[in-house]
Chain A
Amino acid sequence: MNNPLRSKKAEWVVTTPSFLWLAFFFAVPAVIVLAFTFHGHDASGGVGDWSLSTWRELVDPDYPAIVWNTLRISFEVTVWSILLALPCAYAIARMNARWRGIVAGAIMLPFWTSFVVRVFAWKTMLHPDGWLQACYLGWLNVRAWLFGWLPGFLQEFLLWAGFAAPGAVDPASSTILDSETAVVLVSVYSFLPFAIMPIYSAAEKFDFSLLEAARDLGAKNFYAFRRIFIPGIRQGIVSAILMVFIPAVGSYVIPQMLGGTNCVLIGNKIFMRAIQNRNIPHASALATLMAVAVLVPIGIAMLWKRRQDARDKRRLDEQTAKLAVGGGGR
């Protein structure tokens, strides 16, 4: 056990299977997809010779708007999921062991039913004669009213970014089915467990006496939650964001079944190109674009974290240097 060579070997034995799994089922397919983008396609749906034609043909006037909508809706879904998951995870972490088990089980229970079946059930619930339709109209009115209160530049920004639509609410043409709201709602419903679980597992390890310490030093409950609890479970929140944002960007079933023509996302386009147009290279190029769209924010987040660490280290070094200069003897 003390032999470094032997422990090195043991490490290899343990990690090799998962490494091989990742290589065959992730790395190799990813490379194949990337390689396809540098091929043309033939009329029978096959992959043609090496060429840059796919990338050249990728200019479609619809694409920028679709990519933007995909990112915007994924962002909305992520924000709502995290906002709902935070109090849930906090409450579960504070329960006693028995209730924790029951509630955690209840959160996992939907996974016993097929995802497609659950989304289909939503189609029924969102029917124009249903009560959710009434709620939707109410929500639209509240949203329009709130929008009216915002300062002008913010209104313009929201309109420009597509978060809000201009004009009054028309009950006849506003159905919740086949709307963006339906896609966001059902996406939040589907991804919420993926947000709760990482936050909960971080909250479970959180030392709640820290909140008491904050209260003791003069903090109000919400301040302690915001300044001590949230930073304390930062890691869980970061993984929850990734767990929701990434599948949301790749979302395909939900917009297909509930978004109609009003909410076409990049996932639907990829499906269309691959299955309907039988243009695998084109679909591969879109998938590659999507992967880049997801990787860029993660890369930025990692850079930011590294800069933070560097800042802390620099501050510590500066302090030490200052003490060394200012007469070391105390």
Chain B
Amino acid sequence: MYYTYAITGLILLISFIINKEKTIKAIKIATVKFKKIFPTFITMLIFISIILFLFPDEVILNYMGNNSKFISVLLASFLGSITLMPGFVAFPLCGILLTKGVPYMVLSAFTTTLMMVGIITFPIEKEYFGVKVTIIRNIISFFIALIVAVITGIFFGEIFR
């Protein structure tokens, strides 16, 4: 995180030294764009806060371990699609699930949908891409996650066990 700030700061400084006017214009563009999308971000945060209340970590943990593998894969991809977690939370959680015996393929379905499918980010994506394309992209991503999960299962020898 601090790394990102350091790099952004450095680039901004270099830009400022090379051309003051252009840099000020860049900051203006940044502010205008940020202001335009900010209400949509708040909307999304409201969704997230409610969904995370309905599906806390423990619930996710429970649902992914206690079923047949295929139902677990589907459930995991469903949960991954509707929740939004930063990677620094998601991967340690998956590490815990792994030690509790949750198969790799289930975790693969969960992490891939978590990263690629965004039902919660729908309001934002729609602002840029429109409703139709947003839906298509998310459906495609969901299937990619399922394919990845199945192949992960094959490689870890989980699928035929």
Do A and B come together as binding partners? no
Contacts from B to A (Cβ < 8 Å): none
